[in-house]
Every structure is written in C-alpha cells, then in structure tokens.
Amino acid sequence: MTSKEKQSNEYSADRILVLDFGGQYNLLIARRVRELHVYAEIQPYNKISIEEIQQKNYRGIIFTGGPNSVYDEKSPHYDPEILDLGIPILGICYGAQLMAWMAGGKVSSAEHSSEYGKTSIFTKTSALFKNMPEESICWMSHTDYISQVPEGFVITSHSVKCPCAAMENEEKRLYGVQFHPEVTHTVYGKTILSNFIFGICGCNAAWHMEDFAKRSIETYRESLKGKKVLLALSGGVDSSVAALLLHQAIGKDLTCIFVDHGLLRKNEGDLVEQIFRKFDLNLTRINAKDRFLKKLKGITDPEKKRKIIGEEFIRVFEDEAKKLGKIHVLAQGTIYPDVVESGRGDSAVIKSHHNVGGLPDVMSFDSIAEPLRDLFKDEVREVGLQLGLPEELVYRQPFPGPGLAVRIIGEITEEKVKLLQDADLIFREEITSAGIDSMPSQYFAVLTDLRSVGVMGDARTYGYTAALRAITTEDFMTAEWTRLPYEVLERASSRITNEVPGISRVVYDITSKPPATVEWE
C-alpha cells in the first residue's frame, strides 16, 4: 500500500455530531437522526478534538449514554469548553450526567433511585418537549442520577423515582435527558429528537438517498477521472451497490473481480454473474473452486478453515489483479457500522470474519474508494434499489465470506458441498413457498459431521445429519431461534431426506445467540 489516502465523499449539508461515550445505543441514535433526514456522524469522544468539532460546523451535538459513572476517573470525559461553543447539545443518560457534572452540578448514585425499563415521566413546557403530553412513557436504564442541576439549568421533567429526568439551560441551548429517546419504548422519543434537531438546532431535512446516489456519482466521476479502479465483488449487498454506483460514475474504468470459491449457495455464482452482466459491468469471474478445495483438504479446525479461505481469496484476487496492469484505486463496500465498529475495536475475537478489508495491505494502490462508508445497511439497500439492483439481491440475507465452509462441520469435500447446497436450497424453497421469508432474519442448512442409521424402503441407510437454522435478530450480536411453523419444518425435512441421497436425518437448531453463534463454525 503506497498511501492510505481516501477518496472522500464528505457530506456538506446540516450535520449532527453523535459524541460517543461508549453507550450501547450509539448507532441507534445516529440511525434515528438520519430517519429524520438529517445526517448524523458518530465520533468516539477520544478521537475528535474540540477544534475539529468547531471546524466541522455541526448544527448540534448529541452526547450518548455510557456504561460508567462520571465520578469514576477512568470513565470517559470531555473538555467542558464544549458547552460554551454555542452549539446546541442534547445529553442522553450518561451524556446528561456528564453535562451536569461538567457544568458544576451534582450526580449521585443511589440504588433506591435506579430505574430500568418503561417508566412514566412528567414533563414541563420546553422546546424539547413540544407536541407531547405532560405524562408519557419512556425507557430508563440508570443507577446514577442528577441530584443537583448546575447553575443556569432548570429541571423540566421527573419520574416517580427520579427527581431530574430532564434538565435544560435554554439560553445556552443545553439539554439533558436521563431516559433514552432513541429507543422505540420511549413513546415520544422521535418527537423529542425531532424537536432538538429541527426546533433547537434549526437543521434542514436534506439527507435523502436519491441525492446521495446522484451526488456520489458526480463526485466520483470527477475524482476518479482517468483512473483504473478495482473492486472485489462478493455478490453481497454492500459490494454490489458499491460496484454499481462506481460503474455509473466511471463505466469501464471500473473492473470488478468476482472470486467464486465454490462455497456459495446453489447456483448463486451464476445468479450474481447474470445480474451484473445485464448492467454491462466490466466483470471477471474466477472459478477457483478446485484451488480452494485443495487448500482445505484434511482441515477440520474452524479457525484454520477461515484463515485459509481468507488468505486464498487474497492470493486469487492478487493473481488476477496483476494481469490488469496499473490499478490506481481499490474500491471497497465498507459501510458505516464497519467503520464505527473498527474505530472502537477492542472486543474479543470470537471468529475471524473475513472480508476484503485485508486486501490493501498486500497490494499496491494509490488510494481507496469507499463510496458507502457513511451509510447504514438499510440506506445502502435504498441506494441499491435506486440504482436498479433487483430486490432479491438487495434484500438478500447475510452470507458469510467463507461461505458454506463454516456450515460444513469437519473436512470439506466436493461431495459434502453438494449435499449441503441441495439441502439448503430445499429449506429456502420451503420457507419462500410458505410466504414467511421475512419471519427469520437469516436461515440456512448446516451439514454436520454426524452420521446415523436410518431406514428407507426395506434397506438400512447410514447418512449424514443436516441441521436447519433460522434466527431472528435486529443486529446479529444477539439472536433468538425462530419459531418456524412445524409444517414448514416437516416439509423441509421430508424433502431433504427424500431428495438428497446421503442425508438421512434432519434436526432443527433451537439455540439462541448467546450462548451459540449464528453460524456453526
């Protein structure tokens, strides 16, 4: 990598800064602001200086919650000068306590006043509480509370247990709420955020995906003029949308390499190819099944499988890229949650997720283009639809980079890949024909390494056991197993054991995450 320079696509209209103090709802807060058509940007409190905040001309700032107590020295703090910048601030939960503490108020901890869950609050007249009744339900989750508001502040809301559920200094446009307006359980949460963003910060609702796509295409048409751009297409939503967007900007100067490792779902490689051929995209598909299977021969350890696939993917991509001559820019389908997560990144590695993020380190490009790095997944989908991608691709369920390799327990062989592809297709067909595609967030079949005795006709069978998995989740960090109708499971089981010779038993996985993960490996 010669340079880490990024081809920027920075948004210039009204922006809200979400200053992240480590709360669990940081993404949700930004999401809610964007639903109101105002661009929200998350920055960890220790990664953005007060000078930068001033330069960036934010219309408002939201302090997120956090897991700590303001009196704990190790807990996140910020330069109190932020309160004097003249930018409106809304502090949420820990963010409100921090605001109170920074401005000279008092925060106390008392077990008897801790609140968790739905709580009634009583509000006074305030610009923040316009268009809502005096009493309403909100979501509380706190032990500490503001026991004395700073000078210049007044209390604008309370609950039975909490004397200060909200405070404000109207003149300085500083607001703090102890509850969580971003959570749907807070009935008037959207109203409160909208009062802050429009009424108090004076933002215009100008963040629309249509404009985003148009603007990005124009920006990249200009900044990538005369450059050769390369993108690794996986067939997933993110890389597909990034590819189409850049294709519309620079046409044939974009080359997409689609590495088919032979571990995709049945017919998936052909489907991806067909879709992109229709758009006349400069696409090279590499059928590298044999190469991958050879490397995976005899490997049973899940982490080793993942590593081998990740590395081989890079090798194949590299070999192909070399044939193309000088490439100036590497394009990637990085999206906003990836950016935010890697910015925090100190959590334990449960599984080494493979994605093309590792590519630039081994190859030489002048710069990287990440056209979707400001977007949430559903915004990416919206852009995809606007660019004409078919719904089946745009709304496709997530599929792991290492593909079926992490759904085949034990050694991977060509025969096992075929068994799993056939079983998985049947399961998906049965869910679709029952019209319940949107019931689980993700569903698939797994081929276990377990064989068992069965009987078919008068003969003994000794085939593999397939497991079916369907999960329901908002964020894939935690998940519930989906209560699929018995009839659907019955049809899938009966068809798989009849139509896939080699599988003689089907089980349904009823484990949630945690303790299990979504994928089996």
- From the CB of 356, what's the least distance to ligand XMP, in Å? 10
Q: Is 304 near ligand XMP (CB under 6 A)? A: no
Helix (H) / strand (E) containing 344: helix 336-344
Closest to ligand XMP by CB, 200 or 356? 356
Q: Is 513 near ligand XMP (CB under 6 A)? A: yes
DSSP codes, 302-329? HHHHHHHHHHHHHHHHHHHHHTT----E
Q: Is 402 near ligand XMP (CB under 6 A)? A: yes
Taking contact as CB under 6 A, which single stretch among the options 185-193, 272-280, 395-403, 416-424 is the one that binds ligand XMP?
Answer: 395-403
Of these residues, 182, 320, 519, 521, which one is catalytic?
A: 182
Alpha-carbon torsion (476, 478, 481, 484), positive or negative: negative
Please tell me the distance from the alpha carbon of residue 417 to that of residue 410, in angstroms, as a whole number: 12
- From the CB of 140, what's the least distance to ligand XMP, in Å? 30
Q: Is residue 174 within 8 Å of 89, Cβ to Cβ?
A: yes
- From the CB of 442, what's the least distance to ligand XMP, in Å? 5
Q: Is 354 near ligand XMP (CB under 6 A)? A: yes
Closest to ligand XMP by CB, 456 or 510? 510
Q: Using CB under 6 A, which residues numbered 160 to 199 contact ligand XMP? A: none
Instruction: Please pick, from the candidates 65, 105, 371, 401, the single residue that binds ligand XMP as defined by CB under 6 A.
Output: 401
Taking contact as CB under 6 A, which single stretch among the options 174-182, 333-341, 351-359, 379-387 is the one that binds ligand XMP?
Answer: 351-359
Taking contact as CB under 6 A, which single stretch among the options 68-76, 279-287, 340-348, 396-404 is the one that binds ligand XMP?
Answer: 396-404
- From the CB of 402, what's the least distance to ligand XMP, in Å? 5
Please tell me the distance from the alpha carbon of residue 325 to that of residue 365, in angstroms, as a whole number: 11
Count of residues near ligand XMP by CB under 6 A: 14
DSSP codes, 114-128? -EEEEEEEEE-S-GG
Please tell me the distance from the alpha carbon of residue 294 to that of residue 305, in angstroms, as a whole number: 12
CA distances from 467 to 137, 305, 506, 521 (A): 43, 20, 6, 13
Does residue 182 have an active-site annotation? Answer: yes
Number of C-beta neighbours around residue 126 at 10 A: 19
Number of C-beta neighbours around residue 316 at 10 A: 19
- From the CB of 348, what's the least distance to ligand XMP, in Å? 12
- From the CB of 443, what's the least distance to ligand XMP, in Å? 11
Angle, CA 247 vertex, CA 245 and CA 248 arms, to 5° = 70
- From the CB of 410, what's the least distance to ligand XMP, in Å? 18
CA distances from 97 to 117, 131, 142, 346 (A): 19, 25, 10, 25
- Sheet (strand 6-7) strand order: 6-7, 367-369, 329-331, 229-233, 254-260, 283-287
Taking contact as CB under 6 A, which single stretch among the options 7-15, 85-93, 367-375, 398-406 is the one that binds ligand XMP?
Answer: 398-406
Q: Is 396 near ligand XMP (CB under 6 A)? A: no
Q: Using CB under 6 A, which residues numbered 407 to 446 contact ligand XMP? A: 442
Closest to ligand XMP by CB, 248 or 442? 442
From the list 186, 198, 279, the residue with the least C-alpha distance to 240 is: 279
Q: Is 355 near ligand XMP (CB under 6 A)? A: yes
Strand pairing class (15-20; 60-63) = parallel
Q: Is 351 near ligand XMP (CB under 6 A)? A: yes
Q: Is 517 near ligand XMP (CB under 6 A)? A: yes
> What x/- string results for residues 472 through 491 when contact with ligand XMP is judged by CB under 6 A?
----x---------------
Q: Is residue 329 within 8 Å of 376, Cβ to Cβ?
A: no
Number of C-beta neighbours around residue 475 at 10 A: 11
Q: Is residue 137 within 8 Å of 160, Cβ to Cβ?
A: no
Does residue 37 have an active-site annotation? Answer: no
Q: Is 353 near ligand XMP (CB under 6 A)? A: yes
Alpha-carbon torsion (20, 25, 26, 32), positive or negative: negative
Closest to ligand XMP by CB, 304 or 322? 304
Q: Which residues of 95-105 are buried (b: 16+ CB within 10 A; e: fewer)?
A: bbbbbbbbbeb
Instruction: Please pick, from the candidates 23, 88, 105, 400, the single residue that binds ligand XMP as defined by CB under 6 A.
Output: 400
- From the CB of 307, what's the least distance to ligand XMP, in Å? 11
Of these residues, 93, 162, 164, 201, which one is catalytic?
A: 93
Letter for the amino acid at 15? R
Closest to ligand XMP by CB, 163 or 236? 236
DSSP state of 165: S
Closest to ligand XMP by CB, 95 or 333? 333
Does residue 180 have an active-site annotation? Answer: yes
- From the CB of 469, what's the least distance to ligand XMP, in Å? 10
DSSP state of 408: B
Letter for the amino acid at 125? T
Of these residues, 142, 180, 247, 261, which one is catalytic?
A: 180
Q: Is 398 near ligand XMP (CB under 6 A)? A: yes
Active site residues: 93, 180, 182
Query: Interface with ligand XMP by CB under 6 A: which residues?
Result: 351, 353-355, 398, 400-402, 442, 476, 513, 517-519
